[in-house]
Structure 1
Amino acid sequence: MDEIGDMPLSMQAKLLRVLQDKVIERVGGTESKRVDMRIIAATNKNLRQLIAEGKFREDLYYRLNVITLEIPPLRERKDDILPLAKAFITHFSSELGIPEKTFSSEALKVITEYSWPGNVRQLENCIERIMNLHVGAVIEPNQLPSDLFTDDQDIHSPFVEDDYRNTILVEEKKIVEKALIKCNGNKTKAAKMLGISRSTFYDKLKGTGLG
């Protein structure tokens, strides 16, 4: 369960009952069903502070807090950046039907020195943007988001995922339009020029409002 600290108090009460009684009732169902389960919950908030503020149930906290793993922010574990980036490249390569990419030494230096205020989610969105927008087997510094060069964000400020996704759509639309112009409107040739499958190209046409 991600972001357990954002769960409303009403839902916390329901979750507590499930953990205590190990009984659930399916949506639309009328019968209770016993379940054998293990809960893995994650949060980036201080639950003890939320308890003091009356925003998180103390009894639920102790039910969940059996084994605690504290994961440091990405800026404190630089050695994880490249393996995570490679994993995301593999994932989006498979999802988009395009070849995998590698980092140039200069681009690698940029991503490992950046503080990543949005942690793993920001890194994932960065790789998604690169895989969607840029052609070529090697990722160069000029293909990285500008945020990675300024690094002037507050390290504790949240990463706004919607901003990245909106930027991706705008830039993606420009690239698709340019490809169509260069290929005289031939979608098959445009897809080939961008190094993506025809079906992926059609998905991008729909996603950017061009198709």
Structure 2
Amino acid sequence: MTRPMRRPDGLMPTAPAASTDGVARTAEEGASPRLLPRAADPPESEALAETDYFTNPPPRRVGALGLLTRGPCEFVIIRRTYWSPVSRWGLPGGSVAPNERPWAGLSRLIEAKLSLRSTATAFLGIDHAPTKPGHYEEGVNFLYHVPIPNGVEPLPVVETGYVEARWVTPESVGELVVDHELLRIVHCLDVLRTRRPKELVLGVPQHEQPLVQQALSPSNM
């Protein structure tokens, strides 16, 4: 058995004392600290897995937007003062209140911003908007179809940020609406035809086969 070596002063070396700051120190006063190796940080995926987003949910905005239609082919788009110049035009709606059902919030928002009393009749899908630093936080928009009777006109309430409302058609909407706002409208119109709600991310479908794959499907050959 190996015997411990004695110090020059004849004393046995002392064992490191426990420490809460990750530094090992000897019991003898005045000894220099010795840093212990630090455990590596867990991978990001493991850190996310350890976070309980049920009891500590992230601050995610919930919105509701409406495709307000009149007759067989007209629908409303609105111009907003608070959005970027590229995306000034889009579907009416906004953020719902805490514990407010999205379709009920949409009715409240349309009345407050367009002076219209309305009710959504069909769910068209959801559109997820990831955080864009400096512009907006992450949010999920519920999309609904809202029929408007003939002869009824939307009246924008400027104080709410809506300065103009126009009736457009699928052929003319691209003259004003661009980017993901236009993609969102295109897919809402498609859902009215197919009756199959979609999951979108900034207007892009997440669970659809590419057109080429659809064309090559055995059912289409």
Sort the TM-score into its range (normalised by shorter chain): under 0.3
Higher strand share: 2
Higher helix share: 1
Structure label with greater radius of gyration: 2
TM-score with structure 2 setting the length: 0.23
TM-score with structure 1 setting the length: 0.24
Highest RCO, 1 vs 2 (Cα 8 Å, sep ≥ 6): 2
